[in-house]
Amino acid sequence: MKKLMKLNTAYIALFLAIAMNSCGVSKDVTPREVIWEVSDSTVPCEGVAPQTCLQVREQGSEEWSLFYDTIKGFDYKEGYTYTIKVKETNVENPPADASSKAYELITIIEQRNVSKIVDGITQLEGSFAVTTLNGRDVADKSLTINIEPVDRKITGFSGCNNYNLTYKQKGTQLRFSQVASTKKLCTDIGSLEKEFLITYIQGDSFSLEEGVLKIYDLENQILEAKAIQ
């Protein structure tokens, strides 16, 4: 009788082990955290049906991979690159046409605007040589404007000194910080330098077309510059 009970117990244990394995209960569902870089553009792809896919890669990798799934909580915008931390979880018994993994955003580590056009508005970017200032030809004065959109920073040469400042852009409207510059004294060009730097006080809006930057005050164009190739 004892042998029979032991045998039955062994059969029951074996049956439960097979049942648990076939149902996927033994699958590891422990989430893992991954850090991905996300490209600034999506590409057409085809999973169950035609769609657009994110391009992602793990840090340190040079090759982009198509991402067919969704990341819960991640509001992707084209024109921006991202570095994100994501929670990846195995899904038990997913439908035949569904992913075996689920993804959820933990945090955005970095987000950068790399597009030159956002919402139809050209974003300031590039290096320019100033050609006219308040209607006067100054092409031979070596005035320069270097715009770095990621850091919202402007640097350049004002005829005598190097200068820098930051700016904010909303549509075609501009707002500038106070200008900082080196302190070299140039008596022959000092008045022109002052006039040029006042542009960053008076400047209110801009246009940028075919490599020509124009800055306006509330009424008139006050500066024109051409892109440096």
Higher pLDDT, 98 or 139: 139
Pairing of strands 80-90, 32-38: antiparallel
Rounded distance between C-alpha atoms, residue 150 and residue 202, angstroms: 23
User: Per-residue pLDDT averaged across 96-117, rounded?
Assistant: 84
The answer to whether residue 66 scores a pLDDT higher than 90 is yes
* pLDDT tens digits along 198-226: 999 999 999 988 889 999 999 999 999 99
**pLDDT bucket at 28, cuts 50 / 70 / 90:** low
**pLDDT bucket at 26, cuts 50 / 70 / 90:** very low
The answer to whether residue 156 scores a pLDDT higher than 50 is yes
HSE-up (13 A, CA, CB side) for residue 203: 26
23 residue type, one letter: C
The answer to whether residue 115 scores a pLDDT higher than 70 is no
Rounded distance between C-alpha atoms, residue 217 and residue 203, angstroms: 5
The answer to whether residue 43 scores a pLDDT higher than 60 is yes
Q: What tokens does 148 get? A: 């770095």
Closest residue by Cα to residue 106 from 30, 29, 31, 42: 31
**pLDDT value at residue 7:** 45
Closest residue by Cα to residue 41 from 20, 13, 64: 64
Domain range annotation of the chain: 29-115, 118-227
Of the CATH numbers 2.40.128.270, 3.90.180.10, 2.120.10.70, 3.40.190.10, which one belongs to the domain with range 118-227? 2.40.128.270
